Amino acid sequence: MGDEEQSQEAKPKWEGKVSAGLKGPTAEQVWPLLEDFFNLHKVFPSLTICYGIEGVSGQPGCIRYCAGFSIPSTGHNGNSAVTHSWSKEKLVAIDPSKRTMSYEMVDSNIGFNSYVSTIRVLPGNEENGSTKIEWSFVLDPVEGWKLEDLISKYELGLQRMAKKVEETLA
């Protein structure tokens, strides 16, 4: 197989999963804060803006606009001078009885392609607290990033979100 043919093959997807334990609140208390698809900024500290732009919050097919500073944007033509990152995200599936939802990024300025994420709220145990939030993602490799660095960003973001959820429910 020639070099040209190899470069046109699809690269393997990046996959990551992080989790955070919460002390105190139950999964039943935590889920309503996360299923409020149009208001994630209330519990995700690095999001400054989140609002619905299409559909009804919590119904598959609805789309939200999010902006913040957790993932640096690439700006236009790779210009990293643009610091406010944004994305439009579509809710693709939600199951309140299992406390899980999946969404995909339909547009952004952060260089993510073919991005799908799933958030779950699970009952915890003695090791990880009374509740566990699990956040997983699958996407095409991102130019200029290492998968480990992206997973670290998600870990930090989820830990901050878990702390904010605990404070909100205290």
Give the separation between CA 112 and CA 86, rounded to whole angstroms. 11
Report CA Rg, the chain.
17
Nearest CA-CA partner of 87 in 61, 69, 60, 102: 69
d(CA 17, CA 77): 30
> Annotated catalytic, 134?
no
Q: Which of 89, 104, 154, 166 is catalytic?
A: 89
Helix axes 147-169, 27-35, angle to 10 degrees: 110
- Calpha distance 62→134 (Å, rounded): 22
51 noted as active-site residue: no
Residue 26: count other Cβ atoms within 10 Å of its Cβ: 14
| Locus of tokens 């915890």 | 124
Among residues 4, 15, 51, 103, the one annotated as catalytic is: 103
Q: Which residues are catalytic?
A: 89, 103
